[in-house]
Structure 1
Amino acid sequence: MTETVRPSLSVDYDVESTVIERYQAGAKQQQPSLCCPTEYEGNYLEILPEEIIAKDYGCGDPTRYVDTGETVVDLGSGAGKNCYILAQKVGRSGKIIGVDFNDKMLSLARKYRGEMADKLGYSNTNFVKGKIQDLKLDLDKLHGWLQKNPITSVDKIGAYEAECDRLRQQEPLIADNSIDVVISNCVLNLVRPQDKQQLFAEIWRVLKRGGRAVISDIVCDEDPTPAILNDPELWSGCIAGAFREDNFLKMFEDAGFYGVEILKRETEPWQVIDGVEFRSMTVRAYKGKEGACWERKQSVVYKGPWKQVRDDDGHVFCRGERMAVCDKTYQIMTAANSPYAQDIIGIPPYENIPLEAATEFNCKTKAIRHARETKGSEYNLTQTNDSDCCSPGECC
């Protein structure tokens, strides 16, 4: 679906500063209007300082979809509530990185690092300064460089730009393919429209193959009106920058993700303005469908209940049929952490074909694999089982 072109913003270059000012105020004094009512899983809030709970703003709970031992980045980490929840969930072997651009919020989050480490018995959380649409540029390091090399003339702008490029290439804030999970809680909508495509590309870049993004954000059921889009207060209030529901999922798809899934969508809208409904939605998406296709005689069976389904690469899977797939698709479909695993039965070949001996797979959109192709044309085994078909005490 083609995205509807939104009216131009007369306050375009004020969006970022308006957001910063609003959240700096939120770091000083609680701003209830900046968040939706949210229930968090478990009792993880019990050991958090009250100041963090009161001054951290969100619209969902992406933390419940993170596991022990994982490395997690929280985009727009604010006062640090989600990071300190995750510090407990991932444990000593995990790692949490909070990214924020707001100095006052960073100061508040960093203020409690020592206290939280003492409570947990380990330290696994760090807060860094950066823009979430530019996760390569370490703004703390850039600030240190500027203090030593102040820009006092136009001629020195080139040196500044060169240092930005050097930091991105040689000392990136978040390295490529280094993160298990990227989360965010009601922050992506605050990014300027012209930066949102880059934002999703950055999420994709930092994730490992097989990694996932879990994002809670505000979405709308139709495009906001011009009056909404040109209201600075509604930008900083998580309204004007909200994604239209269908386009939110398409942003992940266009960035290269697969298995894009709505985990939670609030039935009742958070706010209704000019007839447009705004509500919280949590989405999960996976990285790792890129790569070559190799034939290893694998097949998968879609369990149902739909008669047929189509994946993000255009493969069609018919209910109950042995569908021919390449090795890449087979691994994606059957891995333990796959979004498809509960709906798919994987059928490996009777004789393993080493990857180095595999031929190129012709990725047809709908190809049924005969059982003999999986077993081999010379397969002629007869095997019986003398034991009862039922377990003791069960009826056949």
Structure 2
Amino acid sequence: MAEQRWIAAVAAAVAMGGGAFFAVGALRPDPTPVAGFSAPFVFGRFSVPQDNPLTEEAFALGRRLFYDPLLSGGNDRSCATCHIQRLAFTDGLPRAAGLDAEDLDFSSMSLVNLLWGQERFFWDGRALGLEQQALLPIQNPREMAQDLEGLVSELNGSRRYRRMFRQAYGDVSSENIARALATFMRMLISADSKYDRFLRGEAKLSEQEELGRKLFMAHPDTKASLRGGNCIDCHSQFLTSGFRDGLDGFSNNGLDRDEDLPAGLMAVTGNPAHKGFFKVPTLRNIAVTAPYMHDGRLRTLEDVMDHYNDGVVVSDTLSPLILEADNTTSPPGPFVGLRLTDDEKAAIIAFLHTLTDEAFLSDDRFSNPFEGET
């Protein structure tokens, strides 16, 4: 069933905006277009660059490159070093480990459902597409420290890679390395969690999970006696990631005071209004991607709920959606937080656990292709 859901009808992909997948006439030889996706229509439209259509050959090449330590200057780490499948392609560390024995600035983000949501990548939005995102860690002297010309030379020295590049793109080049890695990441689609099965009418949520779902989807409104967790205001309903329009997928969620606020998105845009803004991550498989936030400062989902409930720090660029979210009618004051009950916090966490997609976390199609090779 998982295979059938993954390879859906081509017509479905086209209807969802995938018509650009098949503009492959310029490629020699013509690779095999990927038939489609299992992603539900509620995820919305998606698009793929016309010069990098989704093909079986590009996916196979990208998968192999993703797991190959040849991509690092010391041939000792791969993309999968910091993006582990069973952890929804995170690494379980507060911040990713650098080559210089010091932690990097940010935690490793989950690589899931990247076809949808905000089109800027990395926590600070410095990459404007997956192809660009794919090459930055490879070249970063603190991450993989690989020279692209040297990498192309090494890959050209492999008969297998020469054949795979020829079948997918025609030649070995840094641009085609980026395209292949981007294709693999675009195919990392998680859409078979309990919540997805609930949306398809195949599963029923428990009473606690259903309460958590309702709280997740609601912005508190004391005048209407509506209690809410305010999650939906930043985490789009079905994808649970940041919104797509403009820079709506970035936010200051109240972690630091003004004097301690890191640049975040401001480092990219130069706009002081974006100080402390970071990419809103997907909550898909959130139960296995701890620790949380851009710097991994919160260890558990309970810590995350406590932050939004009574730990929000006010700063000049704090999201107004967080600033005004309160489930009590007490007079205005310095306190900012949801003020949910313990039962309500537990219910939201129970709902978040329904976002775990066990099939995705163990899917052989996304696993290390080197394992089992002789």
Q: TM-score, normalised by structure 1?
A: 0.21
**Bigger RCO (CA 8 Å, 6+ sep):** 2
More helix by share: 2
Q: TM-score, normalised by structure 2?
A: 0.22
